Structure 1
Amino acid sequence: MMTRKEVKKPRIGIYSMGLKHYWGQFPGLRERLIEYGEFIVRSIEDFGAEVYYYGLVDCEQEGQKAGCYFNEKNVDLIFIHSATYVTSASILPVHQICKAPAVVLNLQPAARINYEKTTTGEWLAHCGACPVPEVSNAFNRAGIKYHVVNGLLGLDYTPVISMTDEVTARRPEAKRAWKKIEEWVLAAKVKRNLEGARFGFLGNTYSGMLDMYSDFTMFQAQTGAHVEVLEMCDLDRMLQSVTEEETEEKRKEIEEFFTISEDAAADPLAQKPTEEQMNWSAKIAAAQEKMVEEFDLDALTYYYHGAPGNHYEDMQGGFIVGHSLLTAEGIPCAGEGDLKTCLAMKICDILGKGGSFCEIVTVDYEDGTILLGHDGPFHLEIAKGKPILRGMGLYHGKQGTGVSVEAKVRAGDITNLGCTQTIDGKLKFIVTEAESTDGTIMTIGNTQTPVKFKKDPDSFMDEWFAEAPTHHFAMSVGHNGSLYEKVAELLEIPAVVLDK
């Protein structure tokens, strides 16, 4: 599937710290530390970031210049390479001028120094941990938030000037550190792409679902994303412009991507889609695509019910197939007017982890699993095999009929990202890691994934429900708990990670 909108690269600022007095005293030290800094730059560029390296901040004046430089570059995050000792007065101006989040990189070049041969100049190239307490103290007293990554630099060569072995790329201390650094870069990617993102809100929220209701101003204030309120007549206008050729083209796309069911489901309500249902879903999907393009949407949440036999009711009956296609193309679509879960889905999608619309379906106490899914839409990119389309005699709890998607997330590690709202009106993330087991599912035209959590089903639900979640959440592939924590940090949204 193509991505409809280009995902923006995060803008990362980096500088190396050092003490100006050292350069005349220890020839080669300055150049050596810059070499380390340039290695960090190349490594972070490999994570798909735009990197702006200031060089050395070694005095108060350079700190002021660096702060202005990073403001000019509009960076999302600043990595502070703790290369050697520096006075905290040199570093503080950078972050008083530029308010981007700060992460100190205490990455020692070697696993151990050469005790017998090491000189003062050699030692200074390995004492990056020395200034971190002082810098941390200054940040704390100045009210500047910061994080620290400790570990090894991870070079795959030893600089000529070095007196010890600096090849540490395969050591666990380097791998752990670089995994954290990559997660910070990816978290910055989420922040960059949410700022100015356009979330469509089509129709209304399912009546009575109090957990779904959201304050649009609060949403924009906390995420930087805009909510574009859409009407069914906006979509109807697109529908009127869909040609027979466009419908046929979309029908071909659907048939290539999905398996069309036969009359084999246990539920008589979920059988082979009729020709009329397939053509209508294809036409609606073409209209949905046009609406996304006209309103420049990055995500969409929707729900509508009209009077029985109403034209708009017929339109919403064809939503699920097109919205599933859009979700697979980087425009996540959440049903029932759930804006908060749409945000969770968008975060998962920006990170390339999927993000399928889910709720708790039922518990299998024999297998120790919980079935998670919904009546659509589904993130097709993380499906096991080709999803199945079934014609629905009705949508349970809703009006109208149409085509629905039956699928499950492929077996392996998964992470659920829930987004709820607290008593003070703030967003809150709830995260839990688990495993998709590829167990048996029902043939009822709904998405369903059997999931085994780290605790038994009842213990898991005790913990999940205690966090006051919404009844929907986004399922992503991989174990992403620490990554979602960092996303929450950069968005300044509280997060709870269960089963850490």
Structure 2
Amino acid sequence: MFKEIKPKKRARVGLYSIGLDVYWKQFKGLRERLEGYGTFIEEKMGTEAEVFYYGLVDSEYKARSAGEWFNTQNVDIVFCHSATYANSSSVLPIHQICQKPVVFLNLQPTDRINYDHATTGEWLAHCGACPVPEVANALNRAEIPFRVVNGLLGLTETPEISTTNEVTAHFPEATRAWEEIFEWVRAASVVRTLQHARFGFLGNTYSGMLDLYSDFTMLQAQLGIHVEVLEMCDVAKYLDNVKQTEIKEKLDETMEMFEISGDSPADPIAKKPTDEQLHWACKVAVAQEKLVKDYNLDSLIYYYHGAPGNEYEKLQAGFILGNSLLTAKGIPAAGEGDLKTAVAMKIADLLGTGGSYSEIVVVDYQDKTILLGHDGPFHMKIADGKPILRGMGLYHGKQGDGVSVEAKVKKGPITTFNLTQTFDGKLKMIFSEAKSVDGPIMKIGNTQTPVKFSEHPDPYLARWFAESPTHHCAMSVGHNQSQFSKVAELLQCHYVNL
């Protein structure tokens, strides 16, 4: 039902292990043992990325060769497995030549060395932390940023050469380390996908929403995305060729995904959708999906404000259903021409965390919650139950009438993701972890989720507003600050965790 229209790109990961060449003749089996650890890391990373393992780098000469090789493989990120002691001169040249982000893996094979039976060779197989300060110092003096992951290797069996237990896959230090490693891998996948992404910008930005305006060239410069400027006629041209069978299929899809509402008990403009409204929304949804596929889009941003009663007004009034369906299939759709929030939605979606278009709706001072939602598209993959389709006699602040989505994000941990722009033209990401809770919402055909932050709404809002956000954000499921911040770092984008 939610099959992705356009799959994300897998990260291209560079990996190498380090050691000291004079050890190999001194300690039989040490080199092969360390290479085995490297192969284990390669295979585990390979579940989520294309991995290019150079092998063991144990000299300055090999370091230069490795740097050149990683460049030829067009890697997105490089992991250095600190397998044993190594000179920093065997590491620095790699990252001077291949200037991709670097993460050091200080992954000890055992939780405790066998003190009574350990040999010098045994100790050297477990002293991966030893060279990390030296390497860190060299990289810092070369102005090369780096990160380090510390923990256990997480093997499922002990090598025959070992004198201690190396089965550590179930240890929390291994679990935590690999969670962090995969966060870096997924972040690299996001960056690679954005570098090849096409964002369709349909129409204009809502007039007067100054926070939403952005320079397309600036966005491409900082994110790598291409912005394809589209017009309403680009959607309209597909309408004449939409078949009744396609409309029927889209209607069946809609009936399966949504609950069709009756009249709202409170709001006179929120009614049961008419057959005409549903038919038109499904026809427009077919045209929207054809547009996305023909233009090879990764996201769709839209807004149209035209003269009342013209054909494009009717067309844009049918967008919400189709854009919710697209969002569920990996093509985030953002209303009001908000390109920056579409990027936040895309990043959240690429990470499998949803990313639903939201803004502040109202504060509930009794429940100490803030309702977040919008009158536009909703990410149905993260819905709490079936979303509701309501017929709207009008769209507040906009032209036309049609169907709209009323839904909540599922209960549990959530993270909001705001992408804003500062006075100097730089992008800035703002992340807030909170919890979606069970609470009442208005029956007005808008998405609304009661969210409880770690503090009273008033001081939280004061801190949020002080960061100069845009008024929209993407709501994702799970506590994702750690993951989102790694994406920001790889994009070299300033970020704030509130």
TM over 0.5: yes
**Runs of 4+ in structure 1 displaced over 4 angstroms?**
none
Equivalent in the alignment of 2:209: 209
Q: CA deviation at 1:481?
A: 0.6
Structure 1 residues without counterparts, runs of 5 or longer? none
2:34 maps to 1:41: no
Residues 260-312 of structure 1 deviation map (CA, whole Å, 9 limit, x = unaligned):
11124311111101111111101110110111111110001110011011111
Separation of aligned partners in 2, 1:238 and 1:426 = 37
- Whether the 8 Å CA contact 1:453–1:460 is kept in 2: the answer is yes
Separation of aligned partners in 1, 2:92 and 2:358 = 45
Q: CA deviation at 1:96?
A: 1.4
Q: CA deviation at 1:346?
A: 0.2
Task: Report the 3-state secondary structure (helix = DSSP H, G, I; strand = E; otherwise coil) of the residue aligned with 1:12.
Answer: strand
Separation of aligned partners in 2, 1:282 and 1:95 = 52
**Which one-letter code corresponds to 2:357 in the other structure?**
F
Separation of aligned partners in 2, 1:129 and 1:248 = 62
Separation of aligned partners in 2, 1:316 and 1:41 = 49
2:9 maps to 1:14: no
Equivalent in the alignment of 1:89: 89
Equivalent in the alignment of 1:376: 376
The within-5 A match list for 1:92-241 is: 92-241=92-241
Q: CA deviation at 1:438?
A: 2.2
Task: Report the 3-state secondary structure (helix = DSSP H, G, I; strand = E; otherwise coil) of the residue aligned with 2:210.
Answer: coil
- Whether the 8 Å CA contact 2:259–2:386 is kept in 1: the answer is yes
Separation of aligned partners in 2, 1:451 and 1:107 = 38
Q: CA deviation at 1:324?
A: 0.3
Separation of aligned partners in 2, 1:24 and 1:424 = 57
Separation of aligned partners in 1, 2:236 and 2:474 = 29
Q: CA deviation at 1:116?
A: 2.1
Residues 344-364 of structure 1 deviation map (CA, whole Å, 9 limit, x = unaligned):
000001011100000010011
Identity of aligned residues (%): 65
Separation of aligned partners in 2, 1:453 and 1:303 = 31
Equivalent in the alignment of 2:411: 411
- Whether the 8 Å CA contact 1:9–1:50 is kept in 2: the answer is yes
Moved more, 321-330 or 274-283: 274-283
Residues 370-413 of structure 1 deviation map (CA, whole Å, 9 limit, x = unaligned):
10000010001110111110000110111111100001101111
Residues 65-114 of structure 1 deviation map (CA, whole Å, 9 limit, x = unaligned):
11122112111111100001111111112111111110000111112222
Moved more, 108-117 or 341-350: 108-117
- Whether the 8 Å CA contact 2:264–2:444 is kept in 1: the answer is no
- Whether the 8 Å CA contact 2:428–2:493 is kept in 1: the answer is yes
Equivalent in the alignment of 2:290: 290
Moved more, 1-10 or 467-476: 1-10
Structure 2 length-normalised TM: 0.98
Equivalent in the alignment of 1:323: 323
Structure 1 length-normalised TM: 0.98
Residues 238-269 of structure 1 deviation map (CA, whole Å, 9 limit, x = unaligned):
22222222222212221221111112431111
Moved more, 480-489 or 165-174: 165-174
Equivalent in the alignment of 2:274: 274
- Whether the 8 Å CA contact 1:188–1:487 is kept in 2: the answer is yes
CA RMSD in angstroms comes to: 1.0
**Which one-letter code corresponds to 2:16 in the other structure?**
Y
Separation of aligned partners in 2, 1:199 and 1:474 = 16
Separation of aligned partners in 2, 1:173 and 1:6 = 32
Task: Report the 3-state secondary structure (helix = DSSP H, G, I; strand = E; otherwise coil) of the residue aligned with 2:211.
Answer: coil
Equivalent in the alignment of 1:488: 488
- Whether the 8 Å CA contact 1:265–1:271 is kept in 2: the answer is no
- Whether the 8 Å CA contact 1:265–1:444 is kept in 2: the answer is no
